[in-house]
């Protein structure tokens, strides 16, 4: 990896930005760290992927959640969910804006390449936020971006979804069949036309790496 020295310094755990990130949204910070571990493993297997773009994107993709931390479940200190008291469309506005908030924060740092900003802006594509779509039209709850337009953006989207879902299932004691769960999560993205940029071989490698890495991650935690 040949990151710009200024960008490399920005990503260090003791930089002012990363310390603020960890203090404000510790759950999100841990999520991003875990996602970066998954994407790193994929980088070691995919020949043409750009790790200099994907690594910073993985570490910073949810940094916009610092602005409204209490609206994201990984940062809620209790089981009380603020969204239970809000209209779905209000929840949608708070949740979906974290993508643009991330870009607004990162635009303050000239060392962050345009490619990183593009990957972060696309990491949810125009996928729906299913958790808040109760009885409405699911198309009214889609992120306002376009589907991932690069191998790096597709990889981040997959790892983001897989890490969040498997972590939640593990916490509930329901992470029973990792291969099935990962396959279902990826298939949902494929069926929603989020991963059209990927080649079949690339998708197969990503899936195989995640089978192994998710298994290793939670095997270690169980031990």
3-class SS of residue 80: coil
The yes-or-no verdict on residue 82 having pLDDT over 90 is no
Supply the DSSP symbol for 128. B
Residue 65: strand pairing partners: none
Predicted pLDDT of residue 222 = 44
The CA–CA distances, whole Å, from 212 to 39, 72, 116, 202, 207 equal 13, 28, 26, 16, 9
**Domain residue spans of the chain:** 5-222
Looking at per-residue pLDDT, the higher value among 87 and 62 belongs to: 62
Please tell me the least confidently modeled range out of 9-23, 37-51, 133-147, 163-177.
133-147
User: How does pLDDT run across 97-155, given as a tens digit for each residue?
Assistant: 999 999 999 999 999 999 999 999 999 999 999 888 777 788 999 999 999 999 999 99
Contact 132/83 with Cβ under 8 angstroms?
Answer: yes
The yes-or-no verdict on residue 38 having pLDDT over 70 is yes
Q: Domain 5-222 falls in which CATH fold?
A: Hypothetical protein af1432 (1.10.3210)
Q: What is the mean pLDDT of residues 207-222?
A: 83
Q: What is the mean pLDDT of residues 184-211?
A: 98
The yes-or-no verdict on residue 221 having pLDDT over 60 is no
Determine the Cα–Cα distance for residues 221 and 178; give it in Å rounded to an integer. Answer: 15
Q: Burial, 71: exposed, middle or buried (Cβ in 10 Å; 0-12, 13-18, 19+)?
A: buried
């Amino acid at each position: 990896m040949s990151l710009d020295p200024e960008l490399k310094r920005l990503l260090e755990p003791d930089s002012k930005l990363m310390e603020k990130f960890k203090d404000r949204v510790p759950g999100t910070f841990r999520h991003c760290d875990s996602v970066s571990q998954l994407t790193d493993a994929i980088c070691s297997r995919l020949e043409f992927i750009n790790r200099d773009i994907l690594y910073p994107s993985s570490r910073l993709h949810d940094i916009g959640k610092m602005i409204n931390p209490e609206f994201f479940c990984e940062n809620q200190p209790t089981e009380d969910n603020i969204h239970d008291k809000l209209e779905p469309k209000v929840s949608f506005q708070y949740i979906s804006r974290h993508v643009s908030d991330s870009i607004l924060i990162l635009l303050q740092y000239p060392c962050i390449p345009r490619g990183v900003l593009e990957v972060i802006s696309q990491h949810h594509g125009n996928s729906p936020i299913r958790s808040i779509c109760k009885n409405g039209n699911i198309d009214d709850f889609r992120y306002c971006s376009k589907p991932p337009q690069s191998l790096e953006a597709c990889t981040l989207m997959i790892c983001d979804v897989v890490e969040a879902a498997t972590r939640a299932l593990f916490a509930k004691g329901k992470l029973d069949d990792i291969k099935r769960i990962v396959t279902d999560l990826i298939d949902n993205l494929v069926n929603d036309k989020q991963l059209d940029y990927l080649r079949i071989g690339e998708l197969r490698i990503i899936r195989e790496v995640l089978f192994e890495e998710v298994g290793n991650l939670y095997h270690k935690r169980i031990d």
